Chains A and B, each alone.
Chain A
């Protein structure tokens, strides 16, 4: 099984619909992140959480919300999806201390029509 699992892998949804992307990890890491990838723009941080009671906005949080249900689970919600939220979304984890290498999930490809 993958260390960081994202569901669903692919999703097509209509404008205005609410959608939730889920992420779970078996790494035992405290820190979890949601990134968005767009061609030519790299990875941009949406939200991050350093522990269950900690939620922080990233550089592009507008239109998104998150929930850290447990140390191992971090979900991203689009309350009312719009077409420019069509992108590849990645969840990542990192340890509280030690090396700086994030572990990424395999991504969720979201299309808003």
Chain B
């Protein structure tokens, strides 16, 4: 069954606002990844995290791998209309297995 709890499930914000979403689990993960899915398309990798405590940025996006290895967050600063979509966290339970578990997704809607 689902092993990652992603929240919130949906967000409605104004353009220019900052966004924060997170994933938690009772299991320990060796890798955390964040994906974005645009309407009608498959998910695209945004950020990959490989070490506990790692903080990585990609433009206006920042993600962190929690110290306990059981959580991760993604922040988006100064949101713009093209940030609309569904964001997924994903984690790899056993190092090297390359079999990812995905969160339920966060649907982001932006009011201009």
Does B48 make an interface contact (CB < 8 A)? yes
A-B contact pairs, 25 of them (CB 8 A): A41-B2, A42-B2, A42-B6, A42-B88, A42-B102, A42-B104, A43-B88, A43-B90, A43-B102, A45-B99, A45-B100, A48-B99, A50-B98, A92-B42, A94-B98, A100-B31, A100-B50, A101-B45, A101-B48, A102-B45, A104-B42, A104-B43, A104-B44, A107-B40, A107-B42
Chain B contact residues (Cβ within 8 angstroms of A): what range? 20 to 34
Residues of A in contact (CB 8 Å), total 25
Number of A-B contacts (CB under 8 A): 58
Are A41's CB and B104's CB within 8 A? Answer: yes
Please, what's the 1-or-0 string for B40-54, where 1 marks a CB less than 8 Å from any CB in chain A?
A: 111111001010000
Interface of A, secondary structure class, is strand
Does B103 make an interface contact (CB < 8 A)? yes
Q: Which residue of B lies closest to A2 (CB)?
A: B42
